[in-house]
Chains A and B, each alone.
Chain A
Amino acid sequence: MQVERSALLQDRKNEVMISVQNVSKHFGQIKALDQISFEVKCGEILGFLGPNGAGKTTAMRILTGFFPPTSGKVWIDGREFFKDPRQAKRTIGYLPETLNLYPDMRVREFLKFVAELRQVAGKKRRSHLDEILSRCGLWNVKHRLIGFLSKGYRQRVGLAQALIGDPSVVILDEPTSGLDPKQIIEIRSLIRELGRERTLILSTHILPEVSMVCDRVLIINQGKVVASGTVDELEAGLKEQHQIYVAIGDIGKKEDALNLLHSLEGAEQICITDEKAQEVGFSLIVPKGLDLRPIISRLFVEHQIPLLEIRSARLSLEEIFMKIVVDETRSGAAL
C-alpha cells in the first residue's frame, strides 16, 4: 500500500493540495489571523514557524474544519472546504497541540473507536489498525490503558489517531512540544517518514525543527505570513544580503579602518561590533554575489592596518527569523 501511495504522489507532485486565500479569523477585537494566503503542494512537508500567539493553532483549526474563518476561502484537493466540511474532513488527519485522550480507554480500543467515527469500512478496519499500530511503534502497548502511557507514547497514539482512515493531508500542531529529547528525536523521524507518503503541515516555534523536518517554511507573526520559502531560500539571504565580519589588531587605526570601509561601494550598515584591548571588530552587510573580502584585505594591507580576521557569515535561519519577527513587531508597534 505504501508503494502505491508513493507512486500516486509522484504523479501528483506539482498539484496544489491545499489553497488558502485571504483567510482572516477574528475573536472579538483580536485579529488572530489577518488575510493570510498560501498554497501547499501534494506531498510537501510545510512548516508553520512563529512565536507563541502568532496564530499557528488558529490557522490549523481552520484547515481542519474545527471552526470556519471569519472571511476568506480554503480549498482542499480542489474542493471548497466549508461547502462540504464532512467530505473535506475525511481527507484530513489532525493532531491538536494539547491532547490528553481518554485515560480509561485502551490504545487499540481507542483507535478502533476513531476508525468507526472516521468511517473506515468494517472489512478493512482490522488490518488498517494493525498497520497503524506497528508503524507508530504502538504494537507492544496496544492493550494498555492510555492513562498509564508516557507522554511520548501518548503523542504516538495522537499521531496514530491522525492517520486513521488514511487521510491525504496530516496536520500536526507542535507535535514535539513537551517531550523529552529522546522522544523528540523518535517523533521527528516518524514525522519525516510519514511525510514521504502524504502532504503534511506542522507548526512549531522551534527553529532547528523546521530545517530538520520541513521542505518549506511559512513564517507567521501576529496573524500574518511574513516570509515563506524553502529553508535554503530563506537562509540564502534575507533580502539577498549577507554579512562580512572584519577584525583588526590595532585600536589606534579604528578611524582609518572605518573610513576605508565607508569608501567601499555596496557596503551597508557598517558598525563596530566589539572592542577589546587592542582588537576591534566590524560588521557590514553587502548584497549577495558581491564579495568584498579580497578588496578589504588588500586595502588594509596597503594602509598598514593589521588584519586579524575576515569572514563572510550567512545569516542563519535563526537570525532571519529574529530579524523578521523583530522588524515586523517594531513596525506594527509604530503604526
Chain B
Amino acid sequence: MKNSWVLAWKDLTSYFRSWTGVLACFFFLVIAGVFLSLLVISFAHLSMEASRGPADSFQGLGLTRFVFGSFFLNIGTILIFLVPILSMRAFAEERRHQTLELLFTYPFSDFEIVWGKYLGMIFFFQILTLPILFFVWFVHGLGLTLDWGPIAFGFLGFWLLGCAYLSLGLFISSISENQVISAIVTFGCLLIFWILEWVAGVADGSWAHFFAALSPIRHYRDFTFGIFDMSDFVYFCFFNLYFLFLTLRAIETRNWKG
C-alpha cells in the first residue's frame, strides 16, 4: 500500500504543478463563498421581516438548516463541473505521456495503481473542501448560534458525494483516449445522475422509488438535512466500490497498442 501513497502524492503535487489545481481551488472557493454570503444575507432579511411580522412564521426554519442546508445542496451542484476537471488527468494523462506502461512494469499490483490514483484525487478534494470549515467558523464568528450536528453531517455528505463522483470520473478516465474526452464524458454522466432526481420527481409508483434510490442527490439531501440514514451511507460506499472495480477491470485488459 505504500506504493499507492507514493503515486497519490505524485498526483496531488501534479495538480499544483499545472494551473488546473490552483484554478480549481480558486473558482470553487469564490463560488462557494458567494453562495454562502447570499444565503446569509437572505437569511438576515427573512429573519428581520419575521421579527416585524407575525411572530412564529420562521421559528421552525433555523439558521443552520436555512443557510448550511442550502449551502451544501448548492455546492453539490458545483461538483458536476469540478469533478470532470479533477479526474480527467488520472489515467488519460498517464496514457498520453506513455508512463502508464512503465507503472505496469513496476513491482506492484493493478489495484495499488487504481487505489493510488483514487487517493490522489481524494487528497486534492480534501484540500479543496477544508476552507469550508473556515466558512463555518466565519459564520459562527458573526455571532450566530449554529447547530453543529447538521453541519457535520452536511460536510460528511458533501465529502461522500465528492468521492463517489470522483470514482466515476476515475473510471471514465481509465477508458478515455485523452483528457478532453474524459472530461466531457464524465460531465455527461454526472449530469445524467443529477437529472435522475427530477426523473424520480415526475415518475410514479415503483419507478419513482427506483430512480430515487439511484439518485445520488436524493441520498445527499438527507445528509444536508442533518439526517444520518445508514442506507445513504451504504449507497455511497457501493457507488465508490462499483466504479473502483470497473476501473480495475478496465486497466487489467491493457487493450491498447501504444
Chains A and B bind each other:
yes
Which B residues are in CB contact (< 8 Å) with A189? none
Interface bin, chain B: 20 to 34
Q: Which residues of A contact B109 (CB under 8 A)?
A: 86
Decide: B6 and A116 in contact? CB cutoff 8 A.
yes
Q: Is the CB of A65 within 8 A of B17?
A: no
From B97, B106, B258, give the contact of A118 (CB < 8 A): B106
A104 x B14 contact (CB < 8 A): yes
Q: How far is the CA of A105 from the CA of B97 in the complex (A)?
A: 12
Given A102-B97, A102-B99, A94-B7 contact (CB < 8 Å):
no
Given A98-B258, A104-B14, A104-B18, do A92 and B99 touch, yes or no (CB 8 Å)? no
A157 → chain B closest CB, angstroms:
11
Complex: A85 Cα to B258 Cα, angstroms:
22
Specify the chain A residue showing the minimal Cβ separation from B16. A104
Residues of chain B in range 1-46 having any CB-CB distance to chain A below 8 Å: 2-3, 6-7, 10, 14, 17-18
Q: B245 near A: Cβ within 8 Å?
A: no
Query: Assuming the A-B contacts A89-B107, A102-B14, are A96 and B98 also in contact, with contact meaning beta carbons closer than 8 angstroms in the complex?
Result: yes
Task: For the complex formed, measure the closest distance between the CB of A78 and the CB atoms of chain B, giving whole angstroms.
Answer: 18
A94-B102, A96-B102, A98-B258 as given contacts; A103 in contact with B108, CB under 8 Å: no
**Does A299 reach chain B (CB closer than 8 Å)?**
no
Known A101-B99, A117-B3; judge A66-B105 contact (CB<8 A).
yes
Nearest opposing residue in chain B for A94, CB measure: B105
Are B254 and A66 in contact (CB-based, < 8 A)?
yes
Q: Is B138 an interface residue (CB 8 A)?
A: no
Residue of A nearest to B254 (CB): A67
Q: Give the size range of A's interface with the partner.
A: 20 to 34
A117 and B99 contact, CB distance less than 8 A:
no
**Docked CA distance A89–B6 (Å):** 18
Q: Which of B6, B98, B99, B105 makes the CB contact (< 8 A) with A65?
A: B105
Task: Determine whether A119 belongs to the interface, using a CB cutoff of 8 Å to chain B.
Answer: yes
Inter-subunit contact A86/B107 (CB<8 Å): yes
Given contacts A104-B14, A104-B17, contact A117 B97 (CB under 8 A): no
Q: Mark B241-258, 1 if CB is under 8 A from A, else 0.
A: 000000000000010001
Across the two chains, which residue of chain A brings its CB closest to B7?
A: A117
- Is A113 within 8 A of B6, CB to CB? yes
- What 14 additional pairs, Cβ within 8 angstroms, besides A100-B98, A101-B98? A66-B104, A66-B254, A67-B254, A85-B107, A86-B108, A87-B107, A89-B107, A94-B102, A96-B98, A98-B258, A99-B98, A104-B14, A117-B107, A117-B108
Query: Chain B: residues with CB nearer than 8 A to chain A?
Result: 2-3, 6-7, 10, 14, 17-18, 96-99, 101-109, 254, 258
- Chain A residues within 8 Å of B, Cβ to Cβ: 61, 64-67, 85-87, 89-90, 92, 94, 96, 98-105, 113-114, 116-119, 161
Please name 23 pairs of A and B residues whose Cβ atoms are closer than 8 Å in the assembled complex, sorted by A: A65-B105, A66-B254, A67-B104, A85-B107, A86-B108, A86-B109, A89-B107, A92-B105, A96-B101, A96-B258, A98-B258, A100-B96, A100-B98, A101-B97, A102-B14, A102-B97, A104-B14, A105-B17, A113-B6, A113-B10, A117-B107, A119-B107, A161-B102
